[in-house]
A and B are shown apart, each in its own frame.
Chain A
């Protein structure tokens, strides 16, 4: 009896000790250590031994987990996601959503966006009647790469496909007119919000839409300010002057905060004149939405374009082709 009891105690002690040790082992995965291995798509395809679809699912779930939670998307993570989606779509090119998943998340560097576009082109090849792949390709070209002509071509292709929204031809015309402005960006973003299933991506697009909303209001105030100058022969000292006698051009100022902002999160923002450039700005953002999409992303796109043009331009100077010595 005592022997059995001692054995039982020994077993419990072993279980407890093992559990104690296990609790001290961090559940780190390869991905956590930053050395997540993603095989070459061709190798994965060969080694799948006919289980291509199940293996594609495995890598797809890895991709979904990689952007889960509060993970901040970086260019490095974008490269990793690009590899994962490349493997997924090589193993099973008839998957549907992963192509647009790549388009949504691979945006942190020009390389990311180019990779997303390559994947979208693969998606287009396997889903020739899916307008959304062309649409996302067009969006990337317009929004991140500033390639309006290619974007117009992509959207034109999208507009010819079943279920494509009817506004697409107008968008194509705007892009081709070289006057792509915030209205084009707004239309794109509204469609993306409608189409995107990821909450975090939708929130990102909504932020961009909010900026556009404030910019449209600021432009409205700009027009009122011009009218004031014509009437009064001088500029306004503050935005409130647009409401005041003797030239009350407006009955009320538009809200300086986005309509989507819950009242509880209001910062009590106001319209003011930016002393740096004398432009009307909402204190909510503190700066004008200068260009046709979020300034941070536009600056980045401009930088990518500059780098691209730097790479593409012919070498000059000593040893270059232009110096006539080569």
Chain B
């Protein structure tokens, strides 16, 4: 008799297998590695601080393309199962809808993290080849990128649990954008004279994912001091936020009519 964790793991592994057959994944991976590589050429346009430019572009490419993979590969996972009607076979087994959803989430997250590892290898090769400094700050920045991806994958899973792939992509992109704007919106709202605006902005800030908290690119590239709290607080925040999203996703998916 398989435990719930085993069932989730099996679905996750199958999701990884399915995802790595997706051509879009390789296209995005190819472009990310190409951009990391061409950062050397772009940096040569500047007569100074080329190493910084290579690292800025490399880390930006990893973040941008891994988010792209998370969104565009993730949104189709559940829809694909419904479309191919394989979901009925899976759910006819002793697998709950929540376990199915968690398995999909975990599988997609592992796929995205795998891509991040591959992009990181390319980044480290290019950075080392140009003689740039690479240290624990970069590791911290990449680790928090992985944490940010956990939230993005959870968002994609949530939206794909109740809507079409196109809408799920748009919703996830929208929340991703707002998640990066939430701190600025709060700062702007604090200058507002109307109390209601301040309260609304504060609630939005609490509700939306604070994705800027995962951004340590500048600190890593400039070798600035990164306190342990700048790493573990966002990590706990990502885990908590993803769990909350998955709870909501499971709740919605339990009630979804799959016919």
Contacts and interface: CB of A to CB of B under 8 A. Distances in A.
Given A52-B217, A64-B46, A97-B48, A57 B224 contact: no
A57 B53 CA distance: 6
Interface of A: 45-46, 49-54, 56-57, 60-61, 64-65, 92, 94-97, 197-198
B57 A54 contact: yes
Contact of B211 (A50, A94, A198): A50
A50 B222 contact: no
B230 interface: no
The B interface, classified by DSSP as helix, strand, loop or mixed, is helix
Nearest to B54: A57
B49 to A, nearest CB: 6
B45 A64 contact: yes
Contacts of B195: none
Contact of A50 (B45, B63, B224): B63
Given A50-B63, A57-B46, A61-B42, 19 more contacts: A45-B184, A46-B184, A49-B177, A50-B212, A50-B215, A52-B218, A54-B57, A54-B59, A54-B60, A57-B42, A57-B57, A60-B46, A61-B53, A64-B45, A65-B45, A92-B218, A95-B52, A96-B49, A97-B48
Nearest to B222: A94
A86 B136 CA distance: 30
Contacts of A92: 56, 218
Interface in B95-149: none
B221 interface: yes
Contacts of A60: 46, 49, 53
Contacts of A94: 218, 222, 224
A57 B56 contact: yes
A51 B60 contact: yes
Contacts of B211: 50
A124 to B, nearest CB: 16
Interface centre among A53, A56, A198 (most CB of B within 10 A): A53
B47 A64 contact: yes
A225 B222 CA distance: 59
B180 interface: yes
A46 B215 CA distance: 14
Given A60-B46, A61-B46, A53 B218 contact: yes
A152 to B, nearest CB: 29
